[in-house]
Amino acid sequence: MAIVEPIGEIAVTPAVEVKAAVARARMAQAAWGALKFADRARVMEKARTILMREQERFIEVIRRETGRSHFETLMMEIFPALDSLTYYAKHAEKFLTDKRPGMHLLRTKKLLVTYKPLGVVGIITPWNGPFILALNPTVQALMAGNAVIVKPSEVTPLSGELVGELFREAGLPENVFQCVLGDGETGAALVGAGVDKISFTGSVATGRKVGEACGRALVPCTLELGGKDAMIVCDDADLERAAGGAVFGGFFNAGQFCCGTERVYVHDAIFDAFVARVVEKTRALRQGTEGEYDVGRMIWPRQLDVIERHMADAIAKGARVLCGGNRNGGFYEPTVLVDVTHEMSIMTEETFGPILPIVRVASDDVAIEMANDSIYGLSGTVWSKDEARAIAIARRLETGSVCINESSITYGACEAPFGGRKQSGVGQVNGEVGLRGYCHAMPIVIDRFGTKEEHVWYPYTADKERTLQKVIRWVWGTPLGKWMS
Ligand code: NAD
């Protein structure tokens, strides 16, 4: 029997159809982009009402594709989707309404900054959060007035299509949202189909290809890529909470979470007690597919090969398995490892599975140095009862975001700009920054007084140059000038 049974077939969208979809989207965008924010917000609110009412139908489809527990699907897909629909419907107007910043120097002019939709946005998504990772950027792009084309992962296409179903029922005008289906070929076709922005979420290897293609076409893009997030546990951490956070951070979504805890650095003084609690909590986890359980199967069986390769390498180099360590059909047991080093791929490459390697460290400095010793920089967590100490550590981490005494929840905090550093990504999504990323901020400079001419216009004369020199001396050479400029 196969590890994961197929649940259906999809028709792949040919490249020529992808181009046609972009053309249809461009036609539809003009009217959608011209609507008032309140009109666009009404569609989001209607979608929220439908999602609340019909959540079981959505959960059912997502669970069939991912094997996740009902609770986890509700928590990581439906809950943040409802929040995203509400937050951007409520705040888009405030973030994107015309701004009139005062002019600090050119006081004879006025400045108006207007946020214009980019046009057609292509959104390419992975399989590990197949509904929310398609819905959240879609909501932002739509509220900014764009049309959207989503290319969901070929592993979980039906969950991506749910986004289209939701907006269709909510009354979104035809072709403002479309889905194209297929694998990397369809994704590449979308990148090259004349879209105005690509919002990509996926692996570093594919992100690099997408970034290169966007560079060639001069299409702006955001790249939300993989990670190897570190957890730092200080000697004054609340042991119970930190151990619970490690287990949740490591095994949430069976470890298939971009901001999952993939490495743990624990202060020497509490190492043994911390590890004992983590092992106890890990052993209590229930794996399954039916009824109440905590950890589901691997969504994409190919990921099991990566896990097995990392585990074999770690064990060959001296790592000790304290619990778990076995593959069981489409599952991998939640696993705790110690005696791991940065010579092992399990500490340097993204594993994306339920493996928690724990390292003993002598000080905060060593923990920070080891956490930063990575090609990745997506997120990370710090655990200490001393907030100032934890913030000081957070500031020194080379990551896109940090959570303190909490596992990585930044993506779920709408207000927080989210994005990776180093190889974990380019650009930021979410919140005000993310919403503006779906717009062109267009400055319009307006003359205020309507004089017949400007001092710097032709003809250039020695007299005009002397006056300009006087202005320079006054503006940047006197206290009043410096204060005013
Ligand atoms: P992937 O890179 O294999 O695929 C992602 C998407 O890109 C899929 O839809 C795929 O069909 C498409 N694609 C493949 N080749 C393409 C090409 N040449 N041009 C355009 N599109 C192409 O990633 P995956 O295995 O689906 O997802 C897992 C990865 O995603 C992990 O590395 C994980 O860390 C990362 N991820 C990152 C975030 C984040 O916010 N930073 C969130 C979730 C997942």
pLDDT at 9: 87
State the closest ligand 1 atom to the C-alpha of 191, by its place in the atom list counted from 1.
Answer: 20
Q: Map the chain to HEC letters.
A: CCCCCCCCCCCCCCHHHHHHHHHHHHHHHHHHHHCCHHHHHHHHHHHHHHHHHCHHHHHHHHHHHHCCCHHHHHHHHHHHHHHHHHHHHHHHHHHHCCECCCCCCCCCEEEEEEEEECCEEEEECCCCCCCHHHHHHHHHHHHCCCEEEEECCCCCHHHHHHHHHHHHHCCCCCCCEEECCCCHHHHHHHHCCCCCEEEEECCHHHHHHHHHHHHHHCCCEEEECCCCEEEEECCCCCHHHHHHHHHHHHHHHHHCCCCCEEEEEEEHHHHHHHHHHHHHHHHCCCECCCCCCCECCCCCCHHHHHHHHHHHHHHHCCCEEEECCCEECCEECCEEEECCCCCCHHHHCCCCCCEEEEEEECCHHHHHHHHHCCCEECCEEEECCCHHHHHHHHHHCCCCCCEECCCCCHHHCCCCCECCEECCEECCECHHHHHHCCEEEEEEEEECCCCCCCCCCCCCCHHHHHHHHHHHHHHHHCHHHHHHC
Return the residue whose CA atom lies nearest to atom 30 of ligand 1.
202
Does 224 sit in the ligand 1 pocket, CB within 6 Å? yes
| Pocket mutation for ligand 1, best pick of 125, 203, 224 (most atoms within 8 Å of C-beta) | 203
Return the residue whose CA atom lies nearest to atom 42 of ligand 1.
258
Residues 154-176: tens digit of each pLDDT: 999 999 999 999 999 999 999 99
Does 262 sit in the ligand 1 pocket, CB within 6 Å? no
Distance 435 CA to ligand 1 centre (A): 21
pLDDT at 3: 62
Does 260 sit in the ligand 1 pocket, CB within 6 Å? no
Does 209 sit in the ligand 1 pocket, CB within 6 Å? yes
Does 434 sit in the ligand 1 pocket, CB within 6 Å? no
Q: Give the chain's residues under pLDDT 50.
A: 1
Q: Do 330 and 256 form a contact (C-beta atoms < 8 A)?
A: no
Q: Is the pTM of this model over 0.95?
A: yes
pLDDT at 77: 98
Does 151 sit in the ligand 1 pocket, CB within 6 Å? yes
pLDDT at 1: 43
Distance 347 CA to ligand 1 centre (A): 21
pLDDT at 201: 98
Distance 156 CA to ligand 1 centre (A): 12
Does 123 sit in the ligand 1 pocket, CB within 6 Å? no
Distance 126 CA to ligand 1 centre (A): 4
State the closest ligand 1 atom to the C-alpha of 227, by its place in the atom list counted from 1.
Answer: 34
Does 130 sit in the ligand 1 pocket, CB within 6 Å? no
Give me the active site residues, please: 224, 258
Distance 302 CA to ligand 1 centre (A): 14
Angstrom distance (rounded) from CA 203 to CA 183? 14
Distance 438 CA to ligand 1 centre (A): 20
Does 294 sit in the ligand 1 pocket, CB within 6 Å? no
Does 210 sit in the ligand 1 pocket, CB within 6 Å? yes
State the closest ligand 1 atom to the C-alpha of 190, by its place in the atom list counted from 1.
Answer: 20
pLDDT at 53: 98
State the closest ligand 1 atom to the C-alpha of 209, by its place in the atom list counted from 1.
Answer: 18
